[in-house]
Amino acid sequence: MATNRTFTMLKPDAVENGHTGAILEKINTAGFRIVALKKTQMTKADAEAFYAVHNERPFFGELVEFMTRGPIVAAILEKENAVEDFRTLIGATNPADAAEGTIRKLYATSMGENAVHGSDSDENAQIEGNFHFSGREQF
Ligand code: RTP
Ligand code: MG
């Protein structure tokens, strides 16, 4: 299987609750190589653009409010089958449905405040990674 990349954000709830180190350790142990990594905070315009695909959904305003309320940790990750394997590692969107041992099962508090983002396709992984990191920040 080919090596490819995914993009993740440790969301404001995970960072506020002090789970950054534990989540990065789980990502590392699962075999992902860190290509790019930073702590940053999204503006309202950033979050509206990043989540534009959801702009008609009823939770959009709440999502933008949440994602901008504090710092996030953004990262590009590399591994064989990265997109699918990372979504398996993080678990279902709603932590109540997430499998035991997944990052959302361990660290998410609700459907909205669910600790981590994971890209849903190779194409979106590239778009999302380039949204947060320049070419000079990706190794
Ligand atoms: P993500 O994009 O963050 O990795 O999450 P996902 O694919 O599992 O879920 P998606 O459908 O893309 O939704 C994006 C994020 O919006 C929030 N959400 N809230 N209150 C709600 O009903 C609701 N539904 C979605 C979550 O933060 C979700 O991760
Ligand atoms: Mg999604």
Judge if pTM exceeds 0.90. yes
Is 59 annotated in a binding site? The answer is yes
Annotation marks residue 54 as catalytic: no
The ipTM value here is: 0.96
Cα torsion through 126, 87, 83, 80, rounded to 10? 140
64 lines ligand 1 (CB under 6 A): no
100/12 Cα distance (integer angstroms): 22
Count of structural domains within the chain:
1
Predicted pLDDT at 30: 98
Rounded average pLDDT per 10-residue block, the chain, 139 residues: 91 98 98 98 98 97 98 98 98 98 98 98 98 98
Token output for 114: 């669910």
Predicted pLDDT at 1: 65
Separation of CA 93 and ligand 1 centre (Å): 6
Structural domain harbouring 30: 3-137
From the CA of 118, give the closest atom in ligand 1.
Answer: 4
59 lines ligand 1 (CB under 6 A): yes
The phi and psi torsions of 50 (rounded to 5 degrees) equal -60, -40
Residue nearest ligand 1's atom 25 by CA: 112
Predicted pLDDT at 3: 86
67: CATH: 3.30.70.141
